[in-house]
């Protein structure tokens, strides 16, 4: 056989092999909270040329998303510090495979009405704080109280979803609201709410991509690729805040100005899974146990997989 036909045969064989290999990859089942990850990947162009199918499932909040991961109904999903601790506490066979650090003034905050006599965390003694139980807002309230020598026994917690929480703050049924973006930005821009405490210095502000042990064992190639796409997508948002905000506004129905403010005021940076990160989450778990919210000790180190660090693009450690 001459060289040209031989090369053509080889090319066709390799091409067919690559196509067949891609077709053999099982779909990756991604838990999507209010379309956040899907919108992120779509607008950044990271859903193009994916060599496997991505099937998104929608969840209204972190708690049901964690339950789906626990049940193995999905392969991977994004959770904040507190919800991930609760998922581990429920015995979910999960491992963190990627971490994104969110840096911004009001990523999480405790808010009060603009004409409220409250001005800082010390003023919360004897007051009513509305938040979502087990959320990052709940944890921020605990950390803020501790930072000024108070405890959860010094306040009254009211546990509601964010949509209901703002109503209580506005009508005076709650003195403060501990929540996260975009709710913090909505309240501070639309109602001129004041910030009593910010999570910028009190929390790690990490978003964890957690995968089931079953997915790690059976879909490692898909997970490696997906994690890299999410990394690139978040880096893209830092330099394209208006485009990212416009895509989010179409899905959430919130004012475009709110999403623009959040996107411009927040810097997203991938970080490695290391002992410092793990120790930070252990602190979260220990505090929840001390508060009686968790009934047993949780060793969070079992919920991380450092092997995924080697598969990711080079990252810069964000300040924590």
Domains and CATH numbers, the chain: 3-103+204-311 (3.40.190.10), 108-198 (3.40.190.10)
pLDDT of residue 100: 92
What is the DSSP annotation of 7-55?
Answer: HHHHHHHHHHHHHHHHHHSPPEEEEEETTHHHHHHHHTTTTTT-SS-EE
- Confidence class of residue 302 from pLDDT cuts 50, 70 and 90? very high
Q: Which residue has the tokens 């339950």?
A: 67
CA distance 57 to 124: 39
pLDDT at 281 over 50: yes
CA distance 238 to 243: 10
What is the DSSP annotation of 97-166?
Answer: EEEEEEEETTSEEEEE-TT-S--SGGGGTT-EEEE-TTSHHHHHHHHHHHHTT--GGGSEEEE--HHHHH
- Please give the average per-residue pLDDT across 11-34, as a whole number: 67
- DSSP code of residue 274: -
Q: What is the pLDDT of residues 239-265, one digit of tens each?
A: 999 999 999 999 888 889 989 988 998
Q: What is the pLDDT of residues 142-157, one digit of tens each?
A: 999 999 999 999 999 9
Q: Report helix angle 183-190 to 256-265, nearest 10.
A: 110
Q: Is 157 exposed, middle or buried (0-12, 13-18, 19+ CB in 10 A)?
A: middle
- Confidence class of residue 316 from pLDDT cuts 50, 70 and 90? very low
- Confidence class of residue 92 from pLDDT cuts 50, 70 and 90? confident
pLDDT of residue 11: 47
CA distance 240 to 68: 32
pLDDT at 318 over 60: no
Which of 318 and 141 is assigned the larger pLDDT?
A: 141
How many DSSP H helices and E strands does the chain contain? 12, 11
Q: Are 107 and 184 in contact (CB under 8 A)?
A: yes
CA distance 47 to 28: 13
pTM for this structure?
0.81
């Amino acid at each position: 056989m001459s060289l040209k036909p031989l090369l053509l045969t080889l090319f066709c064989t390799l091409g067919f092999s690559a196509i067949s290999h891609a077709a053999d990859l099982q779909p990756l089942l991604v838990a999507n909270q209010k379309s956040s990850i899907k919108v992120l990947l779509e607008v950044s162009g990271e859903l193009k040329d994916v060599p496997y199918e991505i099937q998104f499932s929608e969840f209204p909040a972190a708690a049901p998303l964690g339950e789906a991961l626990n049940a193995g109904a999905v392969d991977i999903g994004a959770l904040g510090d507190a919800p991930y601790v609760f998922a581990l506490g429920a015995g979910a066979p999960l491992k963190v495979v990627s971490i994104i650090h969110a840096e911004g003034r009001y990523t999480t905050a405790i808010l009060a009405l603009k004409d409220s006599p409250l001005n800082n965390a010390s003023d919360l003694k004897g007051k009513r704080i509305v938040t979502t139980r087990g959320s990052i807002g709940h944890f921020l309230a605990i950390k803020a109280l501790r930072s000024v020598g108070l405890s959860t026994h010094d306040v009254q917690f009211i546990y509601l979803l964010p949509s209901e929480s703002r109503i209580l703050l506005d009508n005076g049924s709650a003195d403060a609201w501990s929540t996260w973006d975009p709710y913090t930005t909505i309240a501070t821009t639309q109602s001129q709410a004041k910030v009593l405490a910010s999570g910028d210095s009190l929390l790690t502000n990490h978003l964890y991509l957690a995968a089931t042990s079953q997915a790690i064992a059976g879909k490692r190639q898909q997970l490696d690729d997906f994690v890299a796409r999410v990394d690139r997508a978040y880096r893209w948002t830092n330099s394209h805040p208006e485009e990212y905000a416009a895509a989010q506004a179409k899905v959430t129905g919130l004012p475009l100005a709110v999403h623009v403010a959040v996107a411009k005021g927040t810097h997203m940076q991938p970080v490695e899974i290391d002992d410092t990160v793990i120790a930070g989450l252990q602190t979260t778990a220990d505090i929840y146990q001390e508060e009686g919210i968790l009934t047993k000790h949780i060793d969070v180190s079992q919920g991380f997989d450092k092997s995924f660090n080697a598969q990711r693009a080079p990252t810069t450690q964000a300040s924590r």
